[in-house]
Amino acid sequence: MQSPLTHTTVLLNEAVDALLFNPDASTQTLDAAPQVYVDATFGRGGHSRLILSRLGPGDRLIAFDKDTAALAEAATILDPRFSIRHQGFSHLGELPEASVAGVLLDLGISSPQIDNPARGFSFRFEGPLDMRMDTTRGISVAQWLANAEADKIAEVIRDYGEERFAGPIAKAIVARRQERGPMSSTTELAQLVADTVKTREAGQNPATRTFQAFRIFINAELEELQQALAASLKVLQPGGRLVVISFHSLEDRIAKQFIAQHSREVYDRRTPFAPPKVMLLKALSRCKPSATEVSLNPRARSAIMRVAQRTPA
């Protein structure tokens, strides 16, 4: 009998502490203004449940997620202060301007998604070559690879997987397609990459970077992150917190550069005596999981959390 798929939330308390920076939130008085918070990646609800346990009676939590399995998990939360949208977090900007006290973005992929062979995210299991976060829309990796040109495949593997053997892998995929038809399973792709990549970092499966690249590409993860970060400036009220947890360098680079870009005053060199453009964010902190957390949950080892605060416009 297969064990149930479980997920351990990374940086659980650290993220919620950063998001709910008001230590008196749980003792909100009746005349206090209610606050709205956003868990933009519900996943299996670890962050959401802890946030709800610490909100005041008039506060609300809005969650986003594209995964239908996440929606099913969210349906078990009966708290009237909670609601979820079957949307990616790029839809964050649809919320009213300056209406949100905090936005949490826990990026990447959850353990149940990785460990479910039917989702096709992992090279460790035999499964369909899918990798869509939302299986109700879009095309799978297998469908894309059935027609994609070698140059485009190489570009995706290089840009989203930072894979130095992107060219040979792409050529091998196209050659395989021409000889025996398109690939349809995770193990087929993993074996092809292993046969093509003869050297690899110690302890890393040769297919790691290629699987990462295809997942990011097919779900437009980096583009969606950029849209959500831009939207956070619109929906966060002054003093509101932005918390971003990333799991690989591409995500963290985008979050780091976004916060840095909006955390400095910009002077117009053409008008040197004009006041500078006001910064929209204040960078607050950066942290990683403790050694204890990593020992208990090895998947936390690459996580980085960045925190910023919305300033008055």
Residue type present at position 274: A
Q: What is the pLDDT of residue 26?
A: 44
DSSP at 312: P
Q: Which residues contact 98 (CB under 8 A, 6 or more apart)?
A: 234, 235, 236, 237, 238
In angstroms, rounded to a whole number, what is the distance separating the alpha carbons of residues 51 and 243? 13
Q: What is the pLDDT of residue 1?
A: 34
* Over residues 165-171, mean pLDDT: 97
Instruction: Please tell me which residue, 112 or 58, carries the higher pLDDT value.
Output: 58
Q: Please, what is the end-to-end C-alpha distance for the chain in angstroms? A: 56
Residue type present at position 186: T
Band of pLDDT at residue 200, cut at 50, 70 and 90: confident
In angstroms, rounded to a whole number, what is the distance separating the alpha carbons of residues 10 and 70? 17
Domain map of the chain by residue range? 12-111+221-310, 135-218
Q: What is the CATH number of domain 135-218?
A: 1.10.150.170
Q: What pLDDT digit, counting tens, does each position of 78-110 carry?
A: 999 999 999 999 999 999 999 999 999 999 787
CA torsion, ordered 13, 222, 150, 205, to nearest 10 deg: -10
Q: Does residue 123 contact residue 206 with C-beta atoms inside 8 Å?
A: no
Q: Does residue 166 contact residue 130 with C-beta atoms inside 8 Å?
A: no
Q: What pLDDT digit, counting tens, does each position of 1-58 carry?
A: 344 456 789 999 999 999 998 644 444 444 568 999 999 999 989 999 999 999 999 9
Judge if 12-111+221-310 and 135-218 fold alike in CATH terms: no
In angstroms, rounded to a whole number, what is the distance separating the alpha carbons of residues 165 and 73? 39
In angstroms, rounded to a whole number, what is the distance separating the alpha carbons of residues 264 and 260? 7
Q: Which residues contact 179 (CB under 8 A, 6 or more apart)?
A: none
Instruction: Please tell me which residue, 266 or 151, carries the higher pLDDT value.
Output: 151
Q: What is the pLDDT of residue 52?
A: 97
Token pair 């400095």 is found at 264
Class of domain 12-111+221-310: alpha beta
Q: What pLDDT digit, counting tens, does each position of 250-279 carry?
A: 999 999 999 999 997 655 566 665 566 678
DSSP 25-48: GGG--TTSPP-EEEES--TTSHHH
For the chain, strand residue ranges (E) read: 36-39, 60-64, 82-85, 100-106, 236-246, 281-287, 304-310
